Amino acid sequence: MRSALCGLHNGKNAIFHLLYGLIYRHTDDCQCQVYISTFVGDAPHAVERFSRCLVDVEDWMSTSRLRLNPTKTQVMWLGSKHQLSKITNRDVPIVSSTAHAVDTSRDLGVMVDNRLTMADQVAAICRGAYYQLRQLRSVTRSLSPEAAKTVVQAFITSRLDYCNSLLYGITDSLFRRLQSV
């Protein structure tokens, strides 16, 4: 047995690092995540480490009778706008294929962008909330004003509350967009 080259995390409470990879198991579409932290200048070496780590993950999964699906694998570089502009490695070898680095990814229903601004998540929340309001318009006409208010608040609050701790520290303009709902 070889020692691990990188960390493996199976869940949502991980610290995001500069390199973020999502690997989806084909059998039941569960996900596991591989994170590697690196400096921008060491990005090519980190890509090599990441690829070797995925080979180890694939070996481990095959012994557990699972299959790594490279076509569902996403890779995302995380960092500031300045750091991301220095990265030239946009294609990352994934076992038997190559993944192109993405700028946005959905993880457990949350849109994560490569600068962690959460702008895409706020846009998705607002879009979903306004859609829900339009759908509720016809239903609320047949309810009393108090019942309609309760229904609308319940649906919209559930949209706003899902994973809201991830929105801590967002910009004022994004916060105002959420409050407009």
Based on the domain organization, do 34 and 105 belong to the same domain? yes
The SS3 assignment for 118 reads: coil
Q: What is the pLDDT of residue 54?
A: 82
Based on the domain organization, do 70 and 138 belong to the same domain? no
Residue numbers of the domain that contains 159: 118-180
Spell out the per-residue pLDDT of the chain, length 181, in tens. Answer: 444 444 444 443 333 333 334 333 333 556 667 777 888 888 888 888 888 888 888 888 888 787 777 777 788 888 888 888 888 878 888 877 888 888 988 888 899 898 889 999 999 999 988 998 888 888 888 889 999 899 888 888 888 888 888 899 999 999 999 998 8
Q: CA angle, corner 100, sides to 17 and 107, nearest 5?
A: 50
- Taking the model in full, what pTM does it have? 0.70
Q: What is the pLDDT of residue 31?
A: 67
Based on the domain organization, do 104 and 161 belong to the same domain? no
Q: What is the pLDDT of residue 118?
A: 93
Whether 160 contacts 174, CB under 8 Å: no
Establish if 1 belongs to a structural domain.
no
Based on the domain organization, do 96 and 172 belong to the same domain? no
CA dist 102 to 62, 74, 110, 113, Å?
27, 7, 15, 9
Establish if 176 belongs to a structural domain.
yes
Based on the domain organization, do 92 and 15 belong to the same domain? yes
Tokens at residue 94, please?
């994934």
> What are the backbone angles phi and psi of residue 10, rounded to the nearest 5°?
-120, 85
Based on the domain organization, do 102 and 19 belong to the same domain? yes
Based on the domain organization, do 105 and 166 belong to the same domain? no
Based on the domain organization, do 34 and 88 belong to the same domain? yes
Establish if 2 belongs to a structural domain.
no
Based on the domain organization, do 149 and 105 belong to the same domain? no
Based on the domain organization, do 107 and 52 belong to the same domain? yes
H-type alpha helices, the chain? 43-63, 81-86, 119-140, 145-161, 172-180
Work out how many domains the chain is built from and give that number: 2
